[in-house]
Amino acid sequence: MTPIIDAIIAFRDLVHGNLIFGVGALLLAGFVGGKLASRLKLPTISGYIVAGLVLGPSMLNVVPDHIVESLAPIPHIALGLIAITIGSEFRIAKLRQTGRNILIITTFQLIITFAAVTFGLSLFGAPLPMALLLGAIASATAPAATVAIASELRARGPLVSTLFGVVALDDAFAITLFGFVMAFAAAMVGGVHAHGPVTMILHPLREIIISILIGLVAGYIVHRLVVNRRRSNEVIVIVLGFVLLTSGVTISINVSPLIANMVMGFVIVNMSPKNSRVMRILEPLSPPIYAAFFALAGTELDIRTIAATGALGVVYLIARAIGKYSGAYVGAAAAHESQATRRYLGLALLPQAGVAIGLILVLQDTTQFTHLPYMGQMVNIVLASILVNEVLGPPLTKYALEASGSARKKRGAALQRQGGGTPQTDVTPSRLGAAPERDTRPNDTTDGGTT
C-alpha cells in the first residue's frame, strides 16, 4: 500500500505546478463531484464546490495557490456570462408588472438583514463599527449560484422572475449601503481625515453610474452587431468578446463588471425581440464554465477559517440567515406576492461570495480601517460565512425552487403536495435565457395565494 501512496504523491509533485493539469483536474473533479451531488439529490454546483475544496490548498493541494491565482480570469468570464443572463431577464414589459415588487422586496430584505446582523453582533459584544461594517457586507448575495441552479432545474415562473430581480438589484444596493456605512464607521474610528465622509458616500454612487453607462454603450453596440446576424457561431464570438471587454474595462477602472454586464444584457434583449435568441445561443457555454468557476471557488475555501471566527462568526451566520429569510418574507408580503414567494424566496438568497469578498478586501485596503485590532477577525467571519453559505446555500435554493413548483422537473409533484392547481403555462422551452415565457400569475395556485 505504501508504494502506491508514494507513487501518487510523486505524481502529484510532478504535475504540482502545471497550469493545464490544474484546469483539467478541476473540470474532471467537478464533473465527478456534480454526479455524486446529483445522486444525493443536491445541486451539481455543490459537487463542484466540494471537489474544488478537496483539490485545493487547504486539503490535498493538487491545485496549489499559484495555479488558483493564474486561473483568476475564469471567475470574471463566468460572472460576466451570469450577469448578462440576469440582465436579459429584465424585459421592460415584465418590469412594468413586477418592477415595483422587486424594488420593495430588495429594500426590505437588505435593511432587515443589515439590522439583524448589526444588532446580533452588538448584542454579543462586537464593537459598533465592526457590527455595522459586517452588517453591510451581510446584505450582499451571490447571483452565480442562483442562476446555475435555476438553469439546472429549468426553473421558471413568478418566484424565479422575482428572485432574479432581487439578486440583480441586491448587489447594487449592498454596494451603496456599504459606502454609507463605511463613511459612518470611519467617523467613529477617527479616520475621516483621509477622504472625508462625503467622498466615501459618493464613491459607490459613482461606481454604479459609470458601470451602468458602460453597460448601456456595450449593449447597444452588441445589438447593432447581432440583431440581423444569422450564424450562431458569430453571435457567440461577438457576445463573449464584449463580455470580456466590458469586464476588462470595468475592472481596470475599479467599477462593477457585474452591474455593467447586467445592463448590457438588459439592453440587448430590450432593443429587439430578435435578440432573445442570444441567450439561447450562449447556453452551451455554461456547463464547462460553471464547472470550472465553482470548482475554482471551492479551492479558495478553507475550513480552518471557521475555527478562527469564534462565537461572533456563529452569530453572524445565524443573524444573516434570519435577516435574509424574514426580510424577503416581509418584503414579499408588503408587495402582495404569493404565499409561495413569501415562503421560499428567502431560502434562495443565502449564498454569498464575490461581492462580499470584494467588500471585505476594500476594508483591508482602506487606510481608516487597516489599523483596527479586529480586522483579522472580520475577514475570517466573512470567509467562514462564504464557506458555509456556498455549501449549504445551493441545496436550500434547489429546495425552494422545487417546493414552490418553479422547477419543471418537480413542478407537478410540488403542486400536488401543496393542494393541487395547474402548472404555470410555458409557451417556449424553459431554458435559462430563453425568450420570455408567459407567467400566469393570477393562476399561481401552488400555495393558494394571489399575486
Domain residue spans in the chain?
2-70, 73-438
Grid cell in block for residue 351: 449564498
Domain 73-438 falls in which CATH fold? Na+/H+ antiporter like fold (1.20.1530)
Instruction: Give the mean model confidence (pLDDT) for residues 333-346.
Output: 88
How would residue 416 be classed by pLDDT, with cut points 50, 70 and 90? very low
How would residue 328 be classed by pLDDT, with cut points 50, 70 and 90? very high
List the one residue out of 444, 450, 447, 448 whose CA is nearest residue 422. 444
**Amino acid at site 219:** G
pLDDT at 411: 46
List the one residue out of 94, 97, 425 whose CA is nearest residue 276. 94
Q: Is 450 within 8 Å of 442 (Cβ atoms)?
A: yes
pLDDT at 98: 66
How would residue 15 be classed by pLDDT, with cut points 50, 70 and 90? low
**Amino acid at site 419:** G
Please provide the average confidence, as pLDDT, over all residues in the chain.
77
List the one residue out of 37, 333, 324, 386 whose CA is nearest residue 166. 324
Half-sphere exposure of 348 (CA within 13 A, CB side): 36
pLDDT at 61: 78
Of residues 375 and 260, more confidently modeled:
260
Grid cell in block for residue 181: 456605512
pLDDT tens readout for residues 184-229: 787 777 654 445 556 656 666 777 788 889 999 999 999 999 888 8
User: Whole-prediction pTM value?
Assistant: 0.65
pLDDT tens readout for residues 71-92: 777 777 887 887 888 788 777 7
Grid cell in block for residue 160: 424565479
| Nearest-10 crossing angle of helices 375-403, 354-365 | 170
Select the highest-mean-pLDDT range: 296-310, 319-333, 390-404.
Answer: 319-333
List the one residue out of 363, 270, 370, 356 whose CA is nearest residue 317. 356
pLDDT at 420: 43
Q: Is 87 within 8 Å of 264 (Cβ atoms)?
A: yes
- CA–CA separation, 197 and 179 (whole Å): 9
Of residues 226 and 436, more confidently modeled:
226
For the chain, give the percent of residues with pLDDT over 70. Answer: 79
